Amino acid sequence: MGREAYRSLYGDLTKIKDTSRLGDPAPGTGDADELWQLLLSISEAIDAYCNRHFYPLTTTRLFDGSGTKRLLVPDLLAITTLKADEDENKTFEVTWATTDYWTEPFNAEPTRHWGRHYDSLLARKQGNKADGFKLAEQNYQIVGKWGYRDYQELSGSLLAEALDSTETAIDVDSGTHFAIGQTILIESEQMLITSIATNTLTVARPLNGTTAATHADDTPVLILRWPLPVERAALIWAARLWTRAPAFEPFYVDADQDTDVRILLDAYRRIPT
């Protein structure tokens, strides 16, 4: 079994093997690939349970116009472009300026460790689109970043080499600042750490809709952090499934949710309407 690496994990191998945190669910060194796959499965299960994802995803999404001054946009972190299709031919020929709308709630601050996403846009009275969002189907296009939060923590380490856009073995000042399974950010590119050898990180890149790019030597390396209850729930859920299933293959998720996992996640759960 290998290590699939197509999205972020909500835990890392160091924490799940820490005896002081989880009772050492996998004391051996030969279980790393299985634990990786388990954390990946649990991360996807958390997204399904909460009806949202907690990592920043860069992508394009379409919305129906509301016919009002407010447009609901769930789990929005940042807007690159907002465009309108005024004649409903799916060409999105009209670009809204940042002075044409507000992101709400005003004090969300999604880049702070305590922050959250935006969930609506409000046409500004002083802007050029004060009439609001025209009522029609799929007539607004938003290119942006989506997710619950976008909190970035300094790792304390810099790149120890210049990177081209294809390298997957990345030298850093100190590999001890990182853990396998973490999502790192170098400038605007996300990468997933799949293994560590001293000061060399092996990564999958680019991740979560970001674009592979070149990066200069001594560029800061940041670590993306999830809400602490989400990370804790992922580790507990994964550890308990591991100890319940000594014969790891085939993998399955229990139908009944652990009470403490549910308590940790319910505050983040979005109920579909």
The answer to whether 210 touches 7, Cβ cutoff 8 Å, is: no
Banded pLDDT at 245 (limits 50, 70, 90): low
Q: Which pLDDT does position 2 carry in this prediction? A: 73
Share of the chain above pLDDT 90, in %: 81
Mean pLDDT of the chain: 92
Handedness of CA 13, 29, 1, 170 (dihedral sign): positive
Strand 70-84 versus strand 136-146 pairing type = antiparallel
Cα separation, 111 vs 118, in Å, equals 11
Delimit the domains of the chain by residue range: 58-146
258 versus 244: the higher-pLDDT residue is: 258
Q: Does the pLDDT of residue 96 top 60, yes or no?
A: yes
Per-residue confidence band for 255, with pLDDT thresholds at 50, 70 and 90: low
pLDDT at 18: 77
Q: Say which range, 83-92, 160-169, 213-222, has the weakest mean pLDDT.
A: 83-92
Higher pLDDT residue, 28 or 171?
A: 171
Q: Is the pLDDT of residue 251 over 60?
A: no
Query: In b/e form, how buried is each residue of 174-186, taking b as 16+ CB within 10 angstroms?
Result: ebebbbbbbbbbb
Neighbours of 211 (CB within 10 A): 11
